[in-house]
Structure 1
């Protein structure tokens, strides 16, 4: 596994079962990915696949999928979830900025706003170079990232309530709060998530804090970034349902094609 650097940005993923409990029910991105997957008969590459939230459903539809992630714990959970299924999935532990797979693909995607984990211009370029190397000519790269609207680019001085859910393992109620600090120079938002666990009597019995930093990219900036790395934008949507991108969108979903000259 990649060595921890001075800024370790994987705390949100160090508990894969917690991650699944909070995120596995999200399926909005799967129909669009299946539509593009249906246009290819070869392998599909899922970058930053995590615990296989999308990898496994695509494989269930008969596609051969290569799931790549740098976090061994997430991959271990993905292997566990798919171990009893007869699916064509290869789980690969590699840094997405330095992919070295023995195959190329017509379709590569990354979901879960993973693009925001690449915090510098250099990291973004390395990711896109890795994708380009593993795409066939005219291959398609699909990804989503949060739209940098004013409600996203905020800093908070007090805990902001987000949601409540029941933890599947402990059966405790979990109140989730967030603290955010946005750096307008680096375009990075530093977030702390506070999970407060309550028993049936409403008493707080446990608290867990995790930190994550995410970079925002503006639409015009993204167009230039993709073009400079050899990608043509075929479509950009305001969500995974293919609605138009507007100033009020919550996310940006890109369908890109590898340029033949790259």
Structure 2
């Protein structure tokens, strides 16, 4: 396999991404983001790692002026093939650079579904925060949906789990955990009569306090941290939502 690059996940997963994530309804994220957009300053919105448009397209249908960035041309092709997908300007590039093809400043930048952790080093994650802050309007928000790292489920820093077992197929995940680099190196494995399909997913997780420090270094302030898109209290588990704000002064 070629060395891991920003586009690796999307290029190798685009053909199965929507199917494998079909049970994960993006509706809560769309509604939560729409509420935050209404509460913030006026201006365009940027999504990092737009993927196949599972959140971008419903938001655009609400009349939000949206821009996108994604490293994978294969994922963006899937987005553009959907109704309305050719109306959202998407730049092919590394989301850590935050370089959409516009000089506009943004009222909100967001990244959902754990995708921020696809930036594979602390340096890349810090750089992303700094570049987001540079492109935000005063009072603009940076919104992240992240999973609370659950390292306890790894036995000797590894784990194999069965997600689907049928008469003609098995879908597994195999993951190794590097506690020093804070990385998960994993493969989705689909076994059928036609053969084996591998869909890699490598992530560098960060703890909530580490994200807060990245924000401070970028000049952003934490505005909210919730246990989900319904703004429930954060209890240190599962998926959570954090909203950082660029000061107005």
TM-score by length of structure 1 reads 0.83
Change (3 A) 1:174 1:29: farther
> Which stretch of structure 1 is more off in the superposition, 55-64 or 225-234?
225-234
Q: Do the aligned partners of 2:130 and 2:217 also contact (CA within 8 Å) in 1?
A: no
Partner residue of 1:176?
A: 171
Q: Do the aligned partners of 2:8 and 2:72 also contact (CA within 8 Å) in 1?
A: no
Partner residue of 1:93?
A: 92
- CA drift of 1:145 comes to 1.2
Q: Do the aligned partners of 1:43 and 1:66 also contact (CA within 8 Å) in 2?
A: yes
User: How many Å separate the matches in 1 of 2:141 and 2:38?
Assistant: 12
Partner residue of 2:186?
A: 191
User: How many Å separate the matches in 1 of 2:32 and 2:172?
Assistant: 31
Change (3 A) 1:80 1:128: same
SS of the aligned residue for 1:220 comes to: helix
SS of the aligned residue for 1:76 comes to: helix
Partner residue of 2:21?
A: 23
Structure with the largest fraction of helix? 2
1:145-182 deviation line (CA, Å, top 9, x unaligned): 1101344555336x4212358xxxxxx96432111111
User: How many Å separate the matches in 1 of 2:79 and 2:140?
Assistant: 26
Q: How many residues align?
A: 242
1:24-56 deviation line (CA, Å, top 9, x unaligned): 452131111111123454211111101111000
Counterparts of 1:1-262 in structure 2, within 5 Å, are 6-8=3-5, 10-14=7-11, 15-24=13-22, 25-27=24-26, 28-39=28-39, 40-82=41-83, 85=84, 89-101=88-100, 102-151=103-152, 155-156=157-158, 159-163=160-164, 174-197=169-192, 204-247=193-236, 249-260=237-248
TM-score by length of structure 2 reads 0.87
Partner residue of 1:168?
A: none
SS of the aligned residue for 1:77 comes to: helix
Change (3 A) 1:19 1:215: same
User: How many Å separate the matches in 2 of 1:10 and 1:96?
Assistant: 10
Q: Do the aligned partners of 2:129 and 2:214 also contact (CA within 8 Å) in 1?
A: no
Q: Aligned-residue CA RMSD in angstroms? A: 2.5
- CA drift of 1:254 comes to 0.5
Q: Do the aligned partners of 1:60 and 1:87 also contact (CA within 8 Å) in 2?
A: no
Q: Do the aligned partners of 1:79 and 1:91 also contact (CA within 8 Å) in 2?
A: no
Change (3 A) 1:5 1:108: farther
> Which stretch of structure 1 is more off in the superposition, 222-231 or 176-185?
222-231
Stretches of structure 2 that go unaligned for 5 or more consecutive residues are: none
- CA drift of 1:239 comes to 2.1
Change (3 A) 1:75 1:33: same
